[in-house]
Chains A and B, each alone.
Chain A
Amino acid sequence: MRFPILSVITWAPFVGALLIMFTARRSPLAVRLIAAVSTGISTALSLWLYGAYDRESALTGGPGFQFYEKIPLVPPLGINYELGVDGISLLLVLLTSIIIFAGVFASWTVTVRSQEFYALLLALVTGVYGVFVSLDLFVFFLFYELAVLPMYLLIGIWGSSGEVRPRGIFAWAYRETGVGTKEYAAMKLTLYLLFGSAFILVGIFALYVAAGTASFSFLELEAATFDPVLQRWVFLAFYVGFGILAGIWPLHTWSPDGHASAPTAVSMLHAGVLMKLGAYGVVRVGMGLLPDGAAELAWLVGGIACINVVYGALSAMAQVDLKYVIAYSSVSHMGLVMLGAATLTEAGLNGSVFQMFAHGVMTGLFFALVGLVYEKAHSREIFRMGGFGRVMPGIATAFTIGGLSSLGLPGTSGFVAEILTFMGAWRSDFPWWLLPAVAGTFLTAVYVLRVAKQIFWGPPSPHFHHLEDARGPEWVALVLLVGVLVVFGFAPGLALVPVDTATVPLLARILQP
């Protein structure tokens, strides 16, 4: 039997979580080391996986899903533990590894109940890996739930309540619902995402029953053909269900609240990877299994994505809390991801997947930096801070590089993703999508540069003294993330070659007459 590399990548963090729960009681250092080692194993293996994926075979009609594993779980119901990666999931597994590895180091300083914190975080990561590699819709759904649920406790216990609360005529909202507190954010996020999973569940059942093959296997369902009317409705269900996680307007409001309240590593993981999980669901399950439904509803997906891009950017401009700026920028960038997918062109879909990766790394970097700034300055209010560049040059430099990638400067991965998406939009059936997309990029430049100038490069603020730059383990996170952003910006082919092997057959199914 071959070495089950995907299973090892997926379950290594979970084993780490169990070890932490049962062996590392009262030893915070052991907890961190176990976390670093178990995610390190996954990271190293996913790097190897990335190199070992056979691109030629995928291009020449060989198996698209490689490193295939299959164990029957509940044979009479057709549930199998079935794993495999293609070009898209390959890149996203790598993204997950990078973010969680950096996340463990970025939250090195969590001291309150750190044992439970790391155990939940690692369990969550297993869920994320599982979603990306599973080829059985049922197992996919299980992993999906595992990726959503620990979030409630992670935000509720270790989160921070923001300083931004409704005032004036909306003050009642704080009194009645607790808007702005971490408990509110945790509940809102969990309920929104589970609301989405209700739609996903119905969609999966509908496919299972309609296909009539008594199998949840992605590969078998892909081979089945579904009635166009069913396709339309089920695609809509998947779009709403996964779209909530991807932050589609107007169901995105959990995301700024949740990301702003979450502790650093959770924000990184959630904005960096979990939102991509939603977009991945739409592409893999929605577009992959329901080609006609996807083609029919592309106008809706793209139209809403345009609103996302502009609305997210405008909202980010209006924020005074640093974490909310980053959180709304995620909403805006997820719009670009969905827009790229909706163009149904090769360039657009490649751009979409590349944007998932680029934005994941970028936003992970941002949240890591914001976490560091908050930990040192104990403030998230943009206009109280100033001139931090002098005392924390490393953090300032990393923030600026992340910001430039966010606004799409050539030489960073953000540029590659955006230019591909724009090309896709121009060649799609709706060339006018280009307008809001480009406008969004412009607005991004406005809010990113404004924040960078105010916090890092402006005159020093009188409120803060004795601030320090990043320290030991925190550098690991920053260097890793910045490095990935720049490397993939200069050599996009590293990602695009495997991605292309997956997107071309996917589009061929959708566009066939």
Chain B
Amino acid sequence: MTVAPYVLELGVGALMLVVFAVGVFGRRRVGALATAGVFVLAAGALALAPSGPALGGMFVQDGLAIFVKRVFLAATFIGLLSGLGSPDRALARRGTEYHLLLLASLLGMLVLASARDLIVLFVAFELMSIPLYILTGFAKREPEPIEASLKFFLVGSVSSAVMAYGLSFVYGATGSTSLAAIARAPASPLLTLGLLAALAGLAFKIAAFPFHMWVPDAYEAGPTPFVAWLSVAPKAAGFVTLFRVYFEGVGDRAAVWAPAAAGLATLTMLGGNLMALPQTNTKRLLAYSGIAQIGYMLVGFAAASASGTAMILFYLVAYVFGNMGAFLVVEAVARSEGSEATSAFRGLAQRSPLLALAMLLFLLSLGGIPFVAGFWAKLYVFWAAAERGLYWLVLVGAILTVVALFYYLLVARSMYIEAPTRTGRVPVAPALALSLVLCVLGVVALGVYPKAVVMAALRVASPLF
């Protein structure tokens, strides 16, 4: 037996052990150690090549798995890096706990990306989710994080239960837990019902409307570097699961899910964008905008095609840089101003022009404006939908980007048009600055030259169909 297919998972496991051992003796270097470890794994992931099914087909290291694993590791690296040297006292005091939990969740995601069996899939899902509940309530002495954590936990458990219930129907209808066998099984009402219930459970995880209620509270209450990561990595994991369960190997039957996905996409874009409008706290604003972004990705899901899947993968990459970047700017401003309100951004362009420019780039990327990553992401997703004749969905999505731009521009207006209420630069810690630079580079590079990632995404998505 070879360990090649599981090298990343084993790597994360080993890293957890090291972090644990170091953390027992002294917690000072834990953060740097975990960050460096993830960096090494991310660099190693670039060298990975697909290998055949392992563990009797339960675990596959195919192109898709490797693609998203790179995304997970990159996002985790940026997230961990931005948290280094954070003045948050809970993070400093319980650094070992924080990093162990985050790595555990990462391990869950890595396994999830390769799972081709319902049991593995479900266990990996829970391994990913449970640390998230704890991390959301990390500041355990304050009431809001506890409330948010409880809400997240309850909603998350119910959704897991719904998903497990649905998967049990799937097993009942097909007599197998192997996704490959399920994909080949003849269609039956029970199978459809089971998959529909599982879809509802998964919709909770990716925070599609109307299963989104935990998102704003969790984002507002959690430590911002964690929230930046929470807003992208588990979403990517959720989408991979969707591809594995609903698309891989089912061929033309994938189109069965197009109407449900299109409806979910419409609701999510509409709900997320409209509810973002009245927000005055930037983290809540980004939470609702993130829900809307999920809606745009679901447009690609509604296309139910190889290009739709590939474009979601590209969208996820663009979203990692844009959304994490925006959260990290919020973190920088919040550390300096002590406030996460949009008013804290007043006159930022005159105080810290580079920080303001970075935020503007992230917001434009999220808004889908040319020459930054988000533009191509939206465009490609719309294009995939147009290819399947879903013009109405494209029109709805395109019009709602205008609504989205309104609230993004409100932040831009605070930064560029309004006069500053305080003077002096906003200080940015070196580690945070480095992670911001990475995000800016990602957003700009993908905006100028999206081709390489698009092609890679198309390559890994086409074998699914």
- Please list the residues of chain A having a beta carbon within 8 angstroms of any beta carbon in chain B: 74, 76, 142, 145-146, 149, 152-153, 156-157, 183, 186-187, 190-191, 194-195, 197-199, 201-202, 205-206, 208-209
Inter-chain CA distance A208–B417, complex, in Å, is 39
Task: Map CB proximity to A onto B45-81 as digits: 1 under 8 Å, 0 otherwise.
Answer: 0000000000000000000000000000000000000
A202 engages B395 (CB within 8 Å): yes
Would you list the 8 A-B pairs with minimal beta carbon distance, nearest first? A198-B398, A205-B386, A156-B417, A145-B370, A194-B402, A195-B402, A198-B399, A142-B370
Q: Are B395 and A199 in contact (CB under 8 A)?
A: yes
Contact B386 A209 (CB under 8 A): yes
Chain A residues contacting B35 (CB-CB under 8 Å) are none
B409 to chain A: which residues have CB within 8 Å? 152, 187, 190
Q: How far is the CA of A198 from the CA of B395 in the complex (A)?
A: 7
Indicate if the CB atoms of B401 and A194 lie closer than 8 Å. Answer: yes
Binary interface encoding of chain B residues 341-369 relative to chain A, with 1 for a CB under 8 A from any of its CBs, else 0: 00000000000000000000000000001
Q: Considering the chains assembled together, what is the distance between the CA atoms of A190 and B416 in angstroms?
A: 15
Known contacts A202-B394, A209-B386; is-contact A183 B369 (Cβ 8 Å): no
Q: Are A74 and B451 neighbours in the complex by a CB distance under 8 Å?
A: yes
Q: CB distance B402 to A153 under 8 Å?
A: no
**Shortest distance from the beta carbon of B409 to any chain A beta carbon, whole Å:** 6
Of A145, A198, A208, which is within 8 A of B369 by CB? A145
Complex: A142 Cα to B394 Cα, angstroms: 18
Chain B contacts with A in 378-407, Cβ cutoff 8 A? 379, 382-383, 386-387, 389, 391, 394-395, 398-399, 401-402, 405-406
11 pairs, CB–CB < 8 Å, chain A vs chain B:
A76-B455, A145-B370, A146-B370, A153-B412, A183-B417, A186-B417, A191-B402, A202-B391, A202-B398, A205-B382, A205-B386
B413 at the interface (CB under 8 A from A): yes
> What would 20 more interface pairs be, CB under 8 Å, given A187-B413, A202-B395?
A145-B370, A146-B370, A152-B409, A186-B417, A190-B409, A191-B405, A194-B402, A194-B405, A195-B399, A195-B402, A198-B398, A198-B401, A198-B402, A202-B386, A202-B391, A205-B382, A205-B394, A206-B386, A206-B391, A209-B389
Measured CB to CB, the closest approach of chain A to B248, in angstroms, equals: 24
Q: How far is the CB of A204 from chain B (nearest CB, A)?
A: 9
Q: Contacts A74-B451, A198-B395, A206-B386 given: A156-B402 contact, CB under 8 Å? A: no
Closest to B364 in A: A149
Known A156-B413, A205-B386, A209-B386: A187·B406 in contact at CB below 8 Å: yes
Which residues of A sit under 8 angstroms from B382, Cβ to Cβ? Answer: 201, 205
User: How many residues belonging to B are interface residues under a CB distance threshold of 8 Å?
Assistant: 25
Known: A145-B369, A146-B370, A149-B369. A190 touches B398 (CB 8 A): no
Q: Is the CB of B401 within 8 A of A153?
A: no
Interface residues of B (CB under 8 A from A): 369-371, 379, 382-383, 386-387, 389, 391, 394-395, 398-399, 401-402, 405-406, 409, 412-413, 416-417, 451, 455
Flag if A183 contacts B413 (CB, 8 Å): yes
Report whether over half of chain A's contact residues are helix, strand or loop; otherwise say mixed: helix
A156 lies within 8 A of B416 (CB): yes
Q: Give every chain A residue within 8 A of B413 (Cβ-Cβ).
A: 156, 183, 186-187
* Interchain CA distance A198-B409 in the complex, whole Å: 17
Chain A residues within an 8 Å CB radius of B412: 152-153
The complex places the Cα of A205 from the Cα of B387 at a distance, in Å, of 8
Measured between beta carbons, the chain B residues less than 8 angstroms from A208 are: 383, 386
Max count, chain B CB within 10 A of own CB: residue among A74, A145, A156, A201:
A201
Output the nearest chain A residue to B393 by Cβ-Cβ distance: A202
Which residue of B383, B401, B416 is within 8 Å of A157 (Cβ)? B416
B364 to chain A, nearest CB (A): 8
- On chain A, the residues within 8 Å of B395 by CB distance are 198-199, 202
Q: Given A187-B406, A206-B391, A153 and B417 touching (CB < 8 A)? A: yes
Closest to B378 in A: A201
Chain A: minimal CB distance from B376 (Å): 10
CB neighbours (8 Å) of B379 from chain A are 201
**What separation, in Å, do the CA atoms of A146 and B371 have in the docked complex?**
9
Q: Which residues does chain B contribute within 8 Å of A187, judged by CB atoms?
A: 406, 409, 413
- Name the B residues within 8 Å of A197 (CB-CB): 398
A494 to chain B, nearest CB (A): 35
Query: Knowing A142-B370, A201-B382, A206-B386 touch, does A191 contact B417 (C-beta < 8 A)?
Result: no
| Residues of chain A contacted by B398 (CB below 8 angstroms) | 197-199, 201-202
CB distance from B394 to the nearest CB of A (A): 5
